[in-house]
Structures are given as C-alpha cells and as structure tokens.
Structure 1
Amino acid sequence: MKELRIGMVGYKFMGKAHSNAYRALPMFFPDQALKPKLSVICGRDEVGVKQAANQFGWAESETDWNKLVQRDDIDLIDINAPSNAHKDIALAAAKAGKHIFCEKPLALTLADSREMLHAAEQAGIKHMVGYNYRFSPAVQLAKKLIDSGRLGQIYHFRAWFLQDWILDPSFPLVWRLQKDIAGSGSHGDLGAHLIDLAHFLVGEMKEVIGMSETFIKERPLASEMTGLSAKGSMEGPKGPVTVDDATLFMSRFVNGAMGSFESTRFAAGHRSTNSFEINGGKGSVKFDFERMNELEVYFTDDDEDVQGFRRVLATDAAHAYSEAWWPAGHTIGFEHTFTHEMLEMLNAIHEDRQPSPNFSDGVKCQEVLEAVERSVEERRWVSISEM
C-alpha cells in the first residue's frame, strides 16, 4: 500500500478530529490503495504542538507552516488553523505542488476563496474543503432518494443549526467571535454547513434575503482558549463582538425550490442541533444530526392506513460506509464523518479526480454567505449572480 505523507497545520479541536480520521482509515478501510502517514503536525505554540504530536500520533512537529509546505517529503497539506490563515497556507501549498484539504469556510472573503480555487487549478493539485456532514450515512441516503426521483420534484428545503455555547454573556471573546479572524459568526461557522448541504442535496441557489443580529455586543477578553472552551473574567478588560450571533435567510433555488435557513448560538438547550427537512411531490425526509444515524422518510404512495414518517436507521449494509463499521443497529458518531471525508480525499488522489466537495464548492458556499450579508446590509433580495 502506497503512503500519502501528510503535513497538518492546526492541532486543537479540528486537528484532533482529523488525526483520528487518518488513524482510523487503515483499520476500517484496509483495501484502500493509499495509506495516510501522519508525518508532521504544525502549530505556533511549540510546547502545545509537541504535546499534540505525541498524543495524536504524528512523527514530527513544526512551528513554521512555511517550512512545512516547502518540505519534499510531504504530499498533502491539511489546513484546520483559524479561518484567517487558510488563504496564505493554501496559496503556498498550491505553489509547492501539494494536494490540499482545507476546513471550511474556505476563506474570509469570496475574493480570497476564488483566488485559492484559481491557484489550486493552476497548480493541477487535488483540493477538498471540509463539509463533513455530507458524509453521514443518513445524509447520503437522503441524497440517494432525491437523485433517484423517489421524492419527486423538490419544493422545500428548510434547515437550522442551533447551538447555545455562548449564551452566557460572561463567556470570553474567543477568536470565533472576531470578524478579522473568523470572517463571520454563526452565519459562516454554522450556516456554511447548511448552505453546503442545500447545494449537495437540492442544487444551487438563485437569490437570497436575510437578517442577522449580535445580541451580546462585548465580552471579556479570553485568557485561555481550547477548542470551543475558554477562560476569562467579567472583572477584566472587554472587547467588541464583531460577528453575528444569529442569522436567518430565505432563498430561491435555481430549480424552483424554496429554502429557509437559521443559524444561531443563542438557542438555549440546543448543544448542536443541525437539522433539515426536504419536501417533494412524492415524499419528504427529515434529518437531525443529534440523531445522526436516523433519517425520517415519508412517501405519498404508501397505503393510506400506514402513511406517516418512518424512522430509517442507516446502519446496515444498504447504506453508505456502513459495511466498514459495526453490525446493523450499532451506531456511529461525529468522528466517523471525518473518516469518510478523508476516505474521499485519498480515493480522489488515487483515482486522479477532484474530490467532492472541493474548492469550487467552497466558493459557491462563500457566494451565498456574502450574498446574505449584502442582503442584511441593503435590506433587499440579492441575486447570487451579483457576487
């Protein structure tokens, strides 16, 4: 089995998720032509990244991503650093001829994401963007039902991604709440996943109209940050929150379907409710990632006395990826979506094709994100073609 030598920039929440995915691939998908080799992990904090290398199983650690990108013994650069670092690392990696996996959002701006796509295409490398929720077996089942025509013409896509982790006004000003680092708040962090799922399942959008709000205008400065947790004091200095806390928007799809989207970090009781419902002429599906192994399915041609939503448990061999894991009825979790994601990346490199989703999908998502932001600012419908 040929090895794919990986250099990863980022070592915290997503760094752990990606490391786990690479390590799981050879065990659960042993017939793949490429085997990931955890060569070098990179981060600015020398002590922290060395600890991560030991914990996650990387051969070496590095504090300078420029040096990492230039190494001849690296084939793929995995970028899961904060969003403001994506562009520079990706451009350098493309110039060095490395394949790239980049977490979403692809960049802080549409212009930057287009520049990244152009650089990757010019370099002739393989490029992928991290929309891991596509890779849930139940979501793959929804895709199958839509593409096969079993739901008929699609009329509605409605989706919501609800969290409550910054509900407390004393929660510190982490980097995800700063526009110059994160790009946007719940809209770009959570809403981007909904937009990609809509593109994946229903198709491209034609126009959007939206509204957003920042409920807590300033927060204590963070003294320590790890993943989605942080420490700070209400007695200490504060800084402005420069992103949205919640965004809602409506859309019209190119194929005539209507869409509604809601993303917020202020929904008490919702730890991570990532859900969608799709209604078609012949049936409907409902998905909630908090019950990620299940898809609720309804068909209009069922006998009248048994009509209703049925719960389909997407864990047996009829469903995507399931044959690699556990016996039917034995569920999988959040971390498995990253393994499936990395499987797609490695297969695409071996098969000499672009993986899906790739930087082109990242650009399309960014077009919608910025169209919604323009709509909020100008209080009008905005066509995606304007972007």
Structure 2
Amino acid sequence: MEQQAQPPLRVGMVGYAFMGAAHSQGWRTAGRVFDLPRQPVLAVICGRDPAAVSAAADRYGWADTETDWRTLVARDDIDLVDICTPGDSHAEIALAALAAGKHVLCEKPLANTVEEAETMARAAETAYARDQLAMVGFNYRRVPATSLARRMIADGRLGTLRHVRVTCLQEWLVDPEFPLTWRLRREQAGSGSLGDLGAHIVDLAQYLAGERLAGVSALTETFVRERPLTDGTEGRRTGAVTVDDAALFTGRFASGALASFEATRYATGRKNALRLELNGERGSLAFDLERLNELWFHDAGQPAAEAGFRRILVTEPDHPYLDAWWPPGHGLGYEHTFVHQARDLVHAIAEGRRPEPSFADGLQMQRVLAAVEESAAKNSVHTPTSD
C-alpha cells in the first residue's frame, strides 16, 4: 500500500525586511531543491504598511497579505508562523502562535530578556506535547562547511578541545551620522552587537564544540552615544543609543576548553567577517564566512615536514546538504543557509521530532547574553600605575 502524502505546510510570515526576504527565499526554494515530506506554501505575509507588505508579497511570492499579526495567527489556513520582526515582539507573537496551535520559527535572538525566553521555552515545551514544534533561526549552522566541521569534531578528529576563537566584524555604524534605527534602541532590540552578532557566534561555537559555555567575562562599549533621529521633524535632533556597539568576552566551556568572542559594528573595512578556529589535541579547524565553501583542517598526526592547514572544498555530494545541489566545485552562498533551515524544519515537523535549535536552546543563549552583559557591567578597564 502506498503511503499517503502529507499535506502542504502553509507558512505565515510576520515581517518583510532583510530577514523576511531571506526567509522567503528559503521557503520558496526548499521544496524545489530537496525532496521534502511536506511542501512549503507561502500563504500569508504580514506587515503594518499595506502598500509595502503588498509589494513584498508580489516580490517574494506570497499569496496573501495581512497588516495585523494577530489576524494572521488566528487564520485557520496557516500551519506555521515565521517571526522576522524586531526582538521586542518575538515573545508576544510566538506565544500567541503556539496558543493558536501553530508551529513557530523565530529569528534569533529568541527574546529581549531571559524572562521572556523562559516563558517562550515553557510554552514551546507544552506545545510539543500537542505535536507543535518551535525553532530558533540560527542560520549559520546550516552552512555546509560548518555542518561538516560539526561532523568532524563529533567524530573525534580534533580530539579533546582546547581553544575556540570566534569573531564577527562589521562596519555599518562607523559613520556617526548613521541614524538611530530600531537596532540601536534597547527597548526594541534588547542589545546591540551582542544580541545581533554575538548570538550568532556563541551559538556557532557551542554547536561546533558540542557543549555549552559554563562562564564568561566581558567588556562592552558604546562608541557613539547620540545619533540623528529619523522622524522627519525640522531641525537637527538626536536620540540616545541605548545598546552596545561592540562586545569582547572570554568564556570557558564545561569541559574546560577556553573561548574568546568579538562582536562589533565598528570594524572599519569589514562587512560581515565571521571567522572561527577550534584547536584540539589532535588537530584544528578554521572557517571564514567570506569563503563559506571552504573549511581548513590541520591534522596534528601528520609528519612535521608535511603538516599544515589544508583546504577542504565543501562542495561534494556527501558533504552536508550538497547532494541536492550542483556538481562538485560549484559553490553555494549566504541565501542557501535559509533554504537548508527551511528543509530541516519541514523534516522535523513531518517526523514529529524536536527541531534544532529549539526554544530551550534559545533560552540557554539568552542566559549567555545576559551573563555577558552582567559581567561587562561589573568590569572596568584599569589603568596601570607607574613605578
């Protein structure tokens, strides 16, 4: 007897800016590349501006629009709610969607506070008993090279882990005349570079290491504390920047391995320089997002005369995700991480298994971010005294 095909997965997305465009690409493409158990359908996109959300629907391929997320959540023709909004609305939308019986995908970081994240994680656990899944969108896990690195580390290729170093360097705030957007307001964004960039690199470090941070020590700084407002009023008006511009912190994993993290929006000349290196007793792995089809591996077991980092071109069909894409040597890009994210979530829903990263993982991340902020608030830079 043939197995009955599962119904399509009807997606409703809240938000249509940068992440909305990226998630749309993922949902639109996943079922055309991968053989999925349920076909994603771009059912409804939601945004407050009717003209803008209608234009986004036409551009990205959504069938219908709403201007109130509450209406979207209440619709009975939606199976999954995808949240691509600023952090201050994540909790409210996710909780309502779970209560309405929907699956949920929520962009990172999960929430603006630990308390919100705790409530969301509890709601997701209750919903899981009703066969509803909730996942956090950490897309850099879905780069084939980072997934391959995770596989190699899990297979023991590095042996006992000793050091992890991760940076995410951007320059988009270097100009002091850049306006005061929502990302620079704590009440909307929760934090600055820490939550926006730091959440990515901490999640990636923990994912690759296969363990969690046990403690952190941090410094943060806001370099430009007033920025121009964009409310259209006459005359020059500024508002206070209430988040960090840069975060620098060290950490220790539960195993004792050490880690260092740097997240900044003030690295002049850097666009999105996410780089990591993991050193173990038997070898090392290095990755650079700007060369995302490559992974660098050093095998300490090689003779000294032949040892050194060697490049792995991650385009082979037995590399993660790549059996469905192009012939070897034909690389992928940033947008494909969202295709892989959609693929993984569809499979988890169809199989009824917990997705990764879950809301519980998002809560743990929120606690790390809170610990970094707490440490930075206590730390101060001391000037060495002269003899």
Normalised to the residue count of structure 2, the TM-score between the two structures is 0.94
The one of 87, 99, 102 equivalent to 1:83 is 87
Give the CA deviation at 1:270.
0.6
Separation in structure 1 between the aligned mates of residue 358 and residue 15 of structure 2, nearest angstrom: 20
3-state SS of 1:156 partner: strand
The aligned amino acid for 1:142 is A
Give the CA deviation at 1:223.
5.0
The aligned amino acid for 1:146 is I
The aligned amino acid for 1:306 is E
Does the 8 Å CA contact 2:317/2:328 hold for their aligned counterparts?
Answer: yes
Separation in structure 2 between the aligned mates of residue 196 and residue 310 of structure 1, nearest angstrom: 25
The aligned amino acid for 2:190 is G
Structure 2 stretches of 5 or more lacking a match? 381-387
- Give 1:222's aligned residue: 230
The aligned amino acid for 2:221 is E
Separation in structure 1 between the aligned mates of residue 103 and residue 194 of structure 2, nearest angstrom: 28
| Deviation string, structure 1 residues 171-226 (Cα, Å, up to 9, x no partner) | 111110110000000000000001101221111111111000000011111259xx
Does the 8 Å CA contact 2:249/2:372 hold for their aligned counterparts?
Answer: yes
| Deviation string, structure 1 residues 70-98 (Cα, Å, up to 9, x no partner) | 11111000000111110100010011110
Counterpart mapping for 1:1-387 below 5 A: 1=5, 2-29=7-34, 31-124=35-128, 125-202=132-209, 203-222=211-230, 236-379=236-379
The aligned amino acid for 2:262 is E
Separation in structure 2 between the aligned mates of residue 122 and residue 66 of structure 1, nearest angstrom: 21
- Give 1:228's aligned residue: none
The aligned amino acid for 1:22 is W
3-state SS of 2:267 partner: coil
Give the CA deviation at 1:123.
2.2
Separation in structure 2 between the aligned mates of residue 262 and residue 370 of structure 1, nearest angstrom: 16
The aligned amino acid for 2:124 is A
- Give 1:229's aligned residue: none
3-state SS of 1:184 partner: coil
| Deviation string, structure 1 residues 303-360 (Cα, Å, up to 9, x no partner) | 3221100011101112101111111111100000001011111000000011111111
| Deviation string, structure 1 residues 354-385 (Cα, Å, up to 9, x no partner) | 111111110111110000100111229xxxxx
Separation in structure 1 between the aligned mates of residue 174 and residue 87 of structure 2, nearest angstrom: 23
Separation in structure 2 between the aligned mates of residue 374 and residue 41 of structure 1, nearest angstrom: 37
Separation in structure 2 between the aligned mates of residue 351 and residue 201 of structure 1, nearest angstrom: 24
The aligned amino acid for 1:210 is A
Separation in structure 1 between the aligned mates of residue 379 and residue 173 of structure 2, nearest angstrom: 27
Give the CA deviation at 1:23.
0.9
3-state SS of 1:190 partner: helix
Separation in structure 2 between the aligned mates of residue 276 and residue 9 of structure 1, nearest angstrom: 32
3-state SS of 1:33 partner: coil
Separation in structure 1 between the aligned mates of residue 134 and residue 206 of structure 2, nearest angstrom: 18
The aligned amino acid for 1:93 is A
Percent sequence identity is 50
Separation in structure 2 between the aligned mates of residue 245 and residue 194 of structure 1, nearest angstrom: 16
Separation in structure 2 between the aligned mates of residue 259 and residue 283 of structure 1, nearest angstrom: 16
Give runs of ≥4 in structure 1 deviating > 6 Å.
none
Alignment RMSD: 1.3
| Deviation string, structure 1 residues 110-164 (Cα, Å, up to 9, x no partner) | 1100100111111222010000000101101111111001110000011000000
| Deviation string, structure 1 residues 238-279 (Cα, Å, up to 9, x no partner) | 111100000000111101100100000000111000111000
Separation in structure 2 between the aligned mates of residue 318 and residue 302 of structure 1, nearest angstrom: 24
Separation in structure 2 between the aligned mates of residue 237 and residue 378 of structure 1, nearest angstrom: 32
Does the 8 Å CA contact 2:14/2:81 hold for their aligned counterparts?
Answer: yes
Separation in structure 2 between the aligned mates of residue 74 and residue 280 of structure 1, nearest angstrom: 46
Does the 8 Å CA contact 2:127/2:133 hold for their aligned counterparts?
Answer: no
